[in-house]
Amino acid sequence: MAETPILSVQGLKTYYLQDEGVVRAVDGASFDLYPGRTLGIVGESGCGKSVSARSILQIVERPGRIEAGRILLQREGAADTVDLARLDPKGREMRAIRGAEIALVFQEPMTSLSAYYTVGNQIGEVIRLHKGFDKKAARSRAIELLAKVGIPRPERRVDEYPFQLSGGLRQRVMIAMALAAEPRILIADEPTTALDVTTQAQILDLLRKLQRERGLAIILITHDMGVIAEMADDVVVMYLGRAVERGSVDEIFHAPKHPYTRALLRSIPSILAKPRDKLATISGSIPHPYDRPTGCPFHPRCGDFMPGICDTAAPEMRPAGARREVSCFLYEHTQ
Amino acid sequence: MIAYTVRRLLLALVTIWAISVLSFVIIQLPPGDFVDAYISHLSASGSVVSAEEAQSLRKLYGLDRPIYVQYAKWMSRVSEGDFGESMEWMRPVTEVIGDRLWLTMVVSIAAIILTYAIAFPIGIYSAVRQYSVGDYLFTLFGFVGIAVPNFLLALILMYFSFKYLDANIGGLFSADYALAPWSLDKVWDLLRHLPLPAFVLAVGGTAQLIRIMRANLLDELRKPYVVTARAKGLAETRVIMKYPVRAALNPFASSAAYLFPQIVSGGIIVALVLSLPTVGPLLLTSLVAQDMFLAGTIVLMLGVMTVIGTFISDLILMWVDPRIRFQVEG
Amino acid sequence: MNAVLAWLAPWRSSAAAPSAEERIAFATQFQLTWWRFRKHRVAVWSGLIVILFYIAAIFADTIAYTDPQATDSRRSYIPPQAIHLFDEEGSLRPWVHGLKGRRDLKTFKIVYTVDPDSKLYLRFFAEGYPYHLFGLIPTTTHLFGVANGKAEDGLYLLGTDLLGRDLWSRLAVATRISLSIGLAGVSVSLFLGVLLGGLSGLYGGAVDTLIQRLIEIIRSIPTIPLWMGLAAALPNTWSTAQIYFAITVIISFIGWTDLARVVRGQFMSLRGEDFVIAAELAGASRLRIIFRHMLPSFLSHVIAATSLALPAMIISETSLSFLGLGLRPPAISWGVLLQDAQNIQTLGIAPWLLIAAIPVIVIILAFNFLGDGLRDAADPYG
């Protein structure tokens, strides 16, 4: 537990500067990722999970921009860390990190692969780029990778186009592609959302297996508390671009502190619930991005709303135990 | 893949058939049959045709038979390469047309190549650098290209070169080569004259294609596979050229299939303004003189050539899009 | 979508006062389209230009000041005149120089040249040649003319052609014919397009396949040679009205394919929409579904497509007439006017004949911008 994080994101702010106003997609997110562990980032859609992931790789699309914060990567064999937020997004150094040290797997295996190139071409490209293999070597490496991620008859699949594969196979191809240059960090952005339940379980198993074999550090982004419970070692809960609570998976599930985390946990359907019981929901909906509430962004939907406090100032992230933090006035006053 | 090719081929054949019927209709449209026209034409030049001769001529062409028999007879003669006589020129139609058909195709193909050559890079530039000064300039050019019909553009260019350069920019050959037999020098002379008519014909299509390319590429640039490609660590130029441009090529290629008929069409009028030795001016004079076999043949040949051109561009499209090759819908 | 949004509205806003969001949620399709269209400055201006052009077309004879058919061989190729806005006293009183006839001593012909000493003052609502307003009301009042005199004496704002006919007046009348033939052509196209596209989209299957193949065939035929053939076959004996009608039919024959594709596409996509299925399940008749539920949703798309089809119609007519195969003199259209400018020698002598190209280009641009704006606005939620 005394390990140093392989990736440490501190106070990340990514804004979209548009004519209509500034959208604060990520507005102060901090988390650490440790080697061989899985960090789950959880939150409703639009809370800035995906933008955080893209910010790490500096592939946020215009007009989005990283405004503040540090993204410290512990490079292999190096004593110092490198701050990714300071690298030129189009520069050689950043490109050498993308795919080679940090790889990305997306939600939509359908549209995340190009329909115009074979699977082998798209995987081989990464191997040739980062490993300097020639075409032939890259192809046989691609076949090995396809076998590794559990694709049957890889030597045939390698020459097929993504639209000839099922959704589950496509997601396996995405994972094979992400692992092609043997990265140490894998960011999986809703990797199972578009898949059916059985395939979901298979993909999660695959991720766990690969993690064991290679000591991968995984950032798992999802809105599904079930997936978090199954996969994550550490959890960050995000709301409207801010991290509101951090802790180990046990702490988050057994002793949630932030009202939002508690609300999220309540809204998981349980098989123990009585028939015809109403499923708990979080009241209200996510505010419009141009129209952020003042004070704590969660206060209009919060059950523990304290007038005069929550709607005037935004709470800070405060330590609430070892490697545990929460940002809520409920805990600031009791301290 | 074979099914697709066969379907396209069948469609092309049906189109050719439709064009042949329309050409036949054009031949038949003027009042009276063509023997009447032939006789009146001969009598205008002083020869007299007897009633028996007229009758035997009618029999020869089957004019006394029902219309579909006449069509069948015409088609069977056409398939043997006999397109009839031009009344205006008193020579076989094929002889009158001569090189003109090939020159028409040379000009049209040059225009198509030019269209692609201009539209492709500009379309990419305008999408990747959306709302830049260059993008606005090219958009403006696009609107001018769409708004100025090509024959007007030809007219305006003619006028300005006449007025300020004192040069006649019409024609496809210099005076020395116009009637000379084919030689390397003549081909070179043709190549020197080709850019201007090709450009005039290309402007409209280029404007359309730039808009299509720009719009498609803007759509494609937002798709997740572009982010995937970036996340792989590829350089930005490579990301764009390999993935979204490749995808945007597809609608680009399929709209290009409709460009060919448009360019052939437009070429007819432009040829008239720029006095090009193509079938355009010949078609007009034959129509005005009601020289219907000549006119019908030109319409038929242009149509068939266009269909062949379109068929070829369909095959190119198939080669471009793996989804068609593998028969996957959507 | 509209219905769904309206249904969601009470949940979406908690405030009692109607918010902007609520206004959008309860707006009709037409209102939404209009609001979005208004944001396209260029499209709105283009719409105004189109309206102006059509007003000019309706009042063509009023805008003309000389009989567009009146020839005078002595006044051939008079160049355009400059309008002077102020007279010597500096007051706003527009005038032009008059013309002076002089006998050429070599050819013994009378030629007219600008007379720098004479001044013709212009005035609004002047008397001129007699005509029927809207084809009904006989009148001699024109929008403007020469004060105390006849316009024929020396008003040639845009110059004259070979036969000495006034280009301004001819252009005014040509605008009417060219614009109306475009409108007539697009109406026929629209009818064919909505009918065949609708059948195609509604029934699908074999009907759809058949119509789609037909469209593909028509689109791969080079149109101009075909029109030329058909137009040339129109008998010389036909009256201007008959030719006008025939040309309309010929040009609309090709134009319907694009409209049919739009209509079919809309039908296809709407057929699967929740609100159409809901109406079907509720037992609404097919006609009711089409007219009450589907038509309002795709009407704006059809209007946009029509606006984009109009320039093609106008270009078609202009091209055919330019070739001498469309409308024939004495009918006047933009194409007929441009036919005079076909020859480079003529252009060298009378370059102002090319002025007839300007309204063609302006109206095509205006229709394109308008159509683009409408198309964008037609997708209010897009």
Q: Which residues share a beta bridge with A32?
A: A8
Between A261 and B47, residue with greater pLDDT: A261
Contact criterion met (CB below 8 Å) for A327 and A245: yes
Write out chain B residues lying below 8 Å of C315, CB-based. 149
Which residues of chain C from 185 to 244 reach within 8 Å of chain B, CB to CB? 213, 216-217, 219-226, 228-230, 232-233, 235
- Closest in A61, A96, A116 to B322, CB measured: A116
Residue among C219, C311, C369 minimizing CB distance to B261:
C219
pLDDT band at A335 (very low <50, low <70, confident <90, very high): very low
Instruction: Answer yes or no: do B326 and A163 touch at CB < 8 A.
Output: yes
Chain B contact present for A74, CB below 8 A: no
Our CA-based measurement puts residue A98 at a distance from the nearest CA of chain B, in whole angstroms, of 5
Asked if residue A115 lies in contact with residue B247, where contact means CB atoms within 8 angstroms, the answer is yes
Give residues with Cβ within 8 angstroms of B240, minimum separation 6.
B124, B128, B221, B226
Strand, coil or helix: C332:
coil
Mean pLDDT of all residues in A23-38: 88
Contact between A177 and B232 using a beta-carbon 8 Å cutoff: yes
Q: Above pLDDT 90, what percent of chain B?
A: 4
Average pLDDT, chain A: 85
Stretch 204-223 of chain B: residues touching chain A, C-beta under 8 Å: 222-223
Q: Record the tokens describing residue A325, joined without a space.
A: 């933090």
Please determine, for residue B114, whether its predicted confidence score (pLDDT) is greater than 70: yes
Chain B, window 220-259: residues with a beta carbon less than 8 angstroms from a chain C beta carbon: 257-258
Q: If we measure between CA atoms, which residue out of C178, C164, C189, C156 comes closest to residue C322? A: C178
Residue among B223, B231, B321 minimizing CB distance to A57 = B231
Smallest Cβ distance to A112: which of B224, B233, B328? B224
Share of chain A above pLDDT 70, in %: 98
Candidates C228, C310, C370, partner chain B, best to mutate (most B CBs within 10 A): C228
> Model pTM?
0.79
Asked if the C-beta of A54 comes within 8 angstroms of chain B's C-beta atoms, the answer is yes
Q: How many CA atoms lie within 13 A of C92 on its CB side?
A: 0
The subunits that touch chain B, with at least 3 C-beta pairs less than 8 Å apart, are: A, C
- The reply to whether B238 touches chain A by the CB within 8 Å rule is no
d(CA B203, CA B210): 10
pLDDT per residue as tens digits for the range A47-84:
888 889 889 998 888 788 888 889 999 887 777 788 88
Cβ atoms within 10 Å, residue A313? 11
Residue C34 in tokens: 């209009």
pLDDT digits (tens, 9 = 90+) for C83-127: 777 777 777 777 777 777 777 777 766 677 777 777 777 777 777
When comparing pLDDT for C210 and B45, which is higher?
C210
How far is the C-alpha of A287 from the C-alpha of A46, rounded, in Å?
10
Cβ distance A177 to B246 less than 8 Å, yes or no, reads: no
Q: Given pLDDT bands bounded at 50, 70 and 90, which one contains residue C16?
A: very low
Q: Which of A137-146, C20-29, C84-93 has the highest mean pLDDT?
A: A137-146
Percent share of chain B, pLDDT over 70? 91
Any C CB within 8 A of B302 CB:
yes
Compute the average pLDDT of residues A17-34.
Answer: 84
Cβ count near B178 (within 10 Å)? 12
Has residue B153 got a pLDDT over 60?
A: yes
Return all residues near C125 (Cβ < 8 A) that are at least 6 apart. C141, C142, C143, C144
pLDDT of residue A235: 93
Of B152 and C221, more confident: B152
DSSP state of B172: S
Structure-model confidence comparison of residues A79 and A102, the more confident one = A102
Residue A243: C-alpha distances to residues A11, A28, A295, C234 (Å): 9, 7, 15, 78
CB proximity B157 to C under 8 Å: no
Between the alpha carbon of residue B127 and those of residues A5, A296, B89, B216, C60, the distances in Å are 41, 40, 53, 9, 43
- At position C287, the amino acid (one-letter code) is L
Token representation of residue A164: 């000839």
The whole-number pLDDT of residue C22 equals: 55
Is the bond preceding B195 in cis, omega lying within 30 degrees of 0?
A: no
Q: Are B85 and B78 in contact (CB under 8 A)?
A: no
Q: State the first-to-last Cα distance of chain A, in angstroms, to the nearest integer.
A: 26
Q: How far apart are CA A324 and CA A332, in angstroms?
A: 14
Chain A within 8 Å of B179 (Cβ-Cβ)? no
Helices (H) and strands (E) counted in chain A, each on its own, are 11, 12
A115-135 exposure pattern, b = at least 16 Cβ within 10 A, e = fewer? bbbbbbbbbbbbbbbbeebee
Which of B234, B244, B247, B128 minimizes the C-alpha distance to A59? B234
Q: Which chains touch A (3 or more CB pairs under 8 A)?
A: B
Q: What gap in Å lies between CA A103 and CA A179, rounded to an integer?
A: 7
Percent of chain C, pLDDT > 70?
A: 88
Q: How many cross-chain Cβ pairs, A to B, lie less than 8 Å apart?
A: 77
